């Protein structure tokens, strides 16, 4: 169906709008009408280690969100940052005895190669923290002026005692997540353990930039606040990242942005991608259960990895197993044979799109496309990136 819209009076020019342009994608319970370019900010990596399957799941799904939003006819820009000034990175560089910048460059290169192999589109923007230190200084200075931050011994802290309430967490829950996820609640400089550093005094040979409070470096959440505001202005349409970033990282990033701009909400919608588990534990360097993308690519196709990630709801956590990847390879073969069926169906193609618009339901849309087969399935495979990714060797 084509709908017509008038411009000016009834005898004036009319422009055709495709039905999909008037559709609204819903993500995580939030309807996301777009007018003009859609802006997606996705929290990227700290480049101190190799890409694991948990990273891959986050970035495949963020890529998928952009592809689905584009189906409505609107351009979509993705900003995926690289946190290259960070405690973990500095520590790892020290362990390896290499300059932190070299480690960051080397690991960023490997990460981008893995993203390419997985068929993840290049983001329009890929800011790096070290290029946005001035932005963090501006943020900290403004929040100090407004009385929302305080300076202590060369560091600047954001008053964050109330942030957990907007995140729907009790203070006890927030305290436990803060200590688990780099919030340093025991820092003696803080008025409240739930305050966070916007700016940190550099100690010893840590990298240091000049600031009104002496040489220092940016705080983690403040880096993303500065990169997002610089790239997209006061708001983003969709903010994505792994589920473990919801608190404290995203909650503080948003609180700081809103305090700085006065514009609420900072993110119109959020996408916290489900955690990938291995041996019943979250995949993490500290637990030693990481499954690296480049190791998987030696045994399975990139398309199978992508299909495995996309074959469940994006917000569910899941347990990785090699047998699931074998199953995904088998399913790919079945899909390829179903694609060779003749015929096309506009109704099925439309239904596929509309299922995708309901909370990015890729598994549901795959079922519809699979039933239709032929051209509908070929288009769907291209849309979800299964036909552009090749074997590693």
Footprint on this chain of Zn ion (rule: CB under 5 A): 43, 224
Report in angstroms how near the CB of residue 223 gets to Zn ion at its nearest: 7
If the CB atoms of residues 43 and 163 are measured against Zn ion, the closer one turns out to be 43
**What DSSP designation does 243 have?**
G
Q: Which is nearer to Zn ion, 198 or 372 (CB)?
A: 198
Number of Cβ within a 10 Å radius of residue 13 = 7
Cβ of residue 358: shortest distance to Zn ion, in angstroms? Answer: 27
Minimum CB distance to Zn ion smaller for 199 or for 380: 199
Instruction: Report yes or no: 238 and 244 within 8 Å, Cβ to Cβ.
Output: no
**Is beta strand 281-282 parallel, antiparallel or unpaired with respect to 276-278?**
antiparallel
Q: Count Cα atoms within 13 angstroms, Cβ side, for 253.
A: 27
Q: How far is the CB of 221 from Zn ion (least distance, A)?
A: 7
Q: Are 194 and 202 in contact (CB under 8 A)?
A: no
- Contact residues for 276 (Cβ-Cβ < 8 A; gap 6+): 52, 53, 54, 57, 282, 283, 291, 317, 318, 320
Structure tokens at 86: 């960070």
Residue pair 199/219 in contact (Cβ under 8 Å)? The answer is yes
Written as one string, the DSSP assignment of 216-251 is: EEE-HHHHHHHHHHHHH-S-EEEEEEEGGGIIIIIH
Q: Indicate the Cα dihedral angle 117, 52, 125, 218, nearest 10°.
A: -160
Cβ proximity to Zn ion, 72 vs 83, nearer residue: 83
Question: DSSP secondary-structure letter at 121?
Answer: P
Smallest separation (angstroms) from Zn ion to the CB of 226: 10
Check: CB of residue 194 under 8 Å from CB of residue 160: yes
Q: How far is the CB of 352 from Zn ion (least distance, A)?
A: 32
Residue number with CB closer to Zn ion (207 or 248): 248
When the beta carbons of 118 and 228 are compared against Zn ion, the nearer one is 228
| 285 DSSP 8-state letter | G
Minimum gap (Å) between residue 143 Cβ and Zn ion: 18
- Rounded to whole angstroms, how far apart are CA atoms 220 and 200? 10
Question: What does each C-alpha distance from 85 to 65, 101, 104, 123, 131 come to in angstroms?
Answer: 28, 9, 9, 20, 10
Tell the smallest beta-carbon distance from residue 284 to Zn ion (Å).
Answer: 17
Q: How far is the CB of 206 from Zn ion (least distance, A)?
A: 20
| Residue among 174 and 335 whose Cβ is closer to Zn ion | 174
In the complex with Zn ion, the residue whose CB is nearer, 241 or 274, is 241
């Amino acid at each position: 169906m084509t709908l017509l819209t008038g411009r000016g009076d009834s005898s004036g020019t009319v422009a055709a709008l495709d039905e999909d342009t008037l559709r609204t994608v819903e993500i995580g319970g939030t309807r996301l009408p777009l007018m003009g370019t859609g802006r997606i900010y996705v929290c990227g990596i700290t480049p101190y280690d190799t890409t694991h399957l948990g990273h891959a799941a986050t970035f495949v799904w963020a890529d998928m969100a952009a592809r689905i939003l584009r189906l409505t006819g609107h351009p979509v820009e993705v900003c995926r940052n690289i946190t290259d000034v960070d405690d973990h990175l500095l520590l790892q560089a020290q362990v390896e005895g290499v300059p932190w910048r070299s480690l960051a460059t080397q690991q960023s290169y490997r990460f981008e190669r893995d993203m390419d192999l997985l068929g993840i589109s290049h983001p329009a923007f890929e800011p790096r923290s070290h290029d946005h230190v001035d932005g963090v200084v501006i943020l900290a200075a403004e929040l100090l002026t407004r009385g929302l931050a305080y300076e202590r011994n060369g560091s600047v802290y954001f008053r964050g005692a109330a942030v957990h309430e907007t995140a729907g967490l009790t203070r006890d829950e927030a305290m436990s997540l803060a200590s688990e996820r780099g919030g340093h609640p025991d820092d003696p400089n803080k008025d409240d353990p739930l305050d966070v550093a916007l700016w940190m005094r550099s100690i010893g040979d840590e990298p240091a930039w000049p600031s009104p409070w002496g040489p220092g470096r940016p705080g983690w959440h403040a880096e993303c606040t500065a990169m997002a505001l610089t790239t997209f202005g006061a708001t983003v349409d969709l903010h994505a990242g792994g589920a473990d970033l919801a608190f404290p990282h995203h909650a503080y990033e948003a609180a700081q942005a809103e305090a700085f701009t006065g514009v609420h909400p900072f993110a119109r919608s959020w996408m916290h991608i489900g955690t990938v588990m291995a041996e019943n534990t979250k995949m993490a360097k500290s637990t030693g259960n990481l499954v690296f993308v480049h190791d998987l690519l030696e045994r399975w196709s990139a398309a199978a990895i992508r299909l495995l990630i996309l074959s469940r709801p994006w917000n569910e956590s899941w347990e990785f197993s090699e047998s699931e990847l074998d199953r995904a390879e088998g399913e790919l073969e079945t899909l390829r044979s179903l694609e060779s069926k003749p015929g096309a169906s506009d109704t099925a193609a439309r239904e596929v799109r509309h299922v995708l618009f309901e909370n990015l339901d890729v598994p549901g849309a795959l079922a519809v496309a699979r039933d239709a087969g032929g051209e509908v399935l070929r288009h769907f495979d291209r849309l979800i990136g299964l036909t552009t990714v090749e074997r590693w060797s």
